[in-house]
C-alpha cells in the first residue's frame, strides 16, 4: 500500500510518498524525483549521504532556514502549549520567560528583555496572558525596543491572536486593543469577566498552531508584512487585516514611510 505523507520534515519543500523501490518526492511545481533504496524515516531524519542532500538543495527540495529565537512569556497552560509547538519548528530556539507569578522560569523574568547587556535578542516574543488584557507590560517593552511581539489568548470556548507588532510598519497591539474598545463600549467589561478563566485544549491548540506557523515563516526568512489578527471558536474562525489607528503614537512615525514589499 502506498502511503502519501505531508511534508514531514520542516526542511523539505515537497510531499513524500513511500513506494516499493524507495521514496518519491512530489514538488508543488509538478516535478517528481525518486530516491531509491531509502525510507521516509531516513529522509525525515536527514540520514542520507551529503552528496544526495546537496543535490536536493540544488534542486530546491530543501528550504533554507535562518535560526530564530522565540521568547515565550507566560506561566499558564497556553504558554506551555506554545512552547511545545514552537520547539517542533526546525531552526527555532525557545526561551521561556516568566511573568512574576507561579513557578519560576528557567530563563528568568520577562524584564530581562529591557537589559541592554543581555545576550537575549529574540526574533519573536510571544506573550500569553491568562487574562485578555493582561501582560501588556512586556508587550510595551518589546514595542519600545523594536522586538517583534505577538499576543495570544485562549479561554474555555474561544481564542484570539493579535498582530505581529513590528518596528518597521504600522499596526500594533495598541491599535487592536484601542480599536476593540472603541467598537464595543462593553469590551473592557467583557475582558474583565473572562479574566482568570482556564483555557481549554481546543483554543490552546489553535493558538499554538498559529504561533508555530508564524515561527515557521520567520525561520524561512518570510517577513510578517501584513498586520492581521484572528479569532477562533469551535464553530467559526475569523482573520482580518488590522487597520492601524491614525492616532496611534507608536504607528504614526511609520505612516509616511514607504510600505515594505514582499521579496
Q: What pLDDT digit, counting tens, does each position of 84-123 carry?
A: 999 988 788 999 998 875 455 556 889 999 888 788 889 9
Q: What was the pLDDT predicted at 57?
A: 79
Residue-level pLDDT at 51: 82
Let me know: does 40 contact 5? Beta carbons within 8 Å. yes
Across all residues in the chain, what is the average pLDDT? 85
Beta-bridge mates of residue 96? 72
Query: Per-residue pLDDT for 83 more than 60?
Result: yes
Q: What is the pLDDT of residues 195-241, one digit of tens each?
A: 888 899 999 999 999 999 999 888 766 678 889 999 999 899 999 99
Strands (E), the chain: 3-5, 15-19, 22-26, 32-36, 68-73, 92-97, 124-127, 149-154, 158-161, 228-233, 237-241
- The least confident of 20-24, 185-189, 252-256 is 252-256
Cα radius of gyration rounded to whole Å, the chain: 21
Confidence of residue 62 (pLDDT cuts 50, 70, 90): confident
Which domains does the chain show, CATH number per domain? Answer: 3-58 (no CATH), 68-254 (3.40.50.720)
Average pLDDT over residues 24-41: 87
CA distance to 11, 117, 138, 149, per residue, from 114 (Å): 33, 9, 9, 14
pTM, 2 dp: 0.75
**Mean pLDDT in residue range 42-58:** 78
The pLDDT, as a whole number, for residue 9 is: 46
pLDDT score for 255: 57
Indicate the pLDDT class of residue 78, thresholds 50, 70 and 90.
Answer: very high
Section 123-148 average pLDDT: 94
Q: How many CB atoms lie within 10 A of CB 211?
A: 25
Residue 245 neighbours by CB distance under 10 Å = 20
Query: What would the mean pLDDT of 170-180 be, rounded to a whole number?
Result: 94
Tell me, what's the pLDDT at 7?
40
d(CA 57, CA 35) in angstroms, rounded, equals 14
Q: How confident is the model at residue 254 (pLDDT cuts 50, 70, 90)?
A: low
pLDDT band at 260 (very low <50, low <70, confident <90, very high): very low
Amino acid at each position: 500500500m502506498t502511503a502519501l505523507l505531508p511534508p514531514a520534515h520542516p526542511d523539505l519543500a515537497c510531499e513524500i510518498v513511500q513506494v516499493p523501490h524507495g521514496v518519491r518526492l512530489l514538488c508543488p511545481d509538478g516535478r517528481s524525483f525518486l530516491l531509491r533504496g531509502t525510507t521516509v524515516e531516513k529522509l525525515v531524519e536527514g540520514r542520507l549521504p551529503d552528496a544526495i542532500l546537496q543535490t536536493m538543495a540544488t534542486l530546491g527540495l530543501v528550504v533554507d532556514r535562518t535560526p530564530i529565537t522565540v521568547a515565550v512569556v507566560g506561566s499558564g497552560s497556553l504558554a506551555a502549549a506554545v512552547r511545545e509547538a514552537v520547539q517542533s519548528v526546525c531552526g527555532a530556539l525557545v526561551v521561556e520567560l516568566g511573568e512574576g507569578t507561579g513557578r519560576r522560569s528557567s530563563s528568568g523574568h520577562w524584564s530581562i528583555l529591557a537589559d541592554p547587556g543581555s545576550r537575549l535578542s529574540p526574533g519573536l516574543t510571544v506573550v500569553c496572558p491568562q487574562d485578555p488584557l493582561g501582560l501588556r507590560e512586556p508587550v510595551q517593552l518589546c514595542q519600545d525596543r523594536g522586538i517583534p511581539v505577538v499576543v495570544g489568548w485562549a479561554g474555555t470556548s474561544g481564542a484570539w491572536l493579535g498582530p505581529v507588532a513590528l518596528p518597521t510598519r504600522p499596526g500594533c497591539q495598541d491599535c487592536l486593543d484601542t480599536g476593540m474598545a472603541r467598537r464595543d463600549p462593553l469590551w473592557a467589561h467583557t475582558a474583565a469577566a473572562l479574566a482568570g478563566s482556564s483555557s481549554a485544549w481546543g483554543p490552546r491548540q489553535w493558538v499554538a498552531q498559529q504561533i508555530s506557523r508564524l515561527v515557521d515563516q520567520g525561520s524561512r526568512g518570510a517577513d510578517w508584512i501584513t498586520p492581521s489578527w484572528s479569532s477562533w471558536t469551535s464553530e467559526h474562525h475569523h482573520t482580518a487585516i488590522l487597520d492601524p489607528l491614525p492616532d496611534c503614537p507608536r504607528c504614526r512615525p511609520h505612516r509616511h514611510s514607504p510600505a515594505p514589499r514582499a521579496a
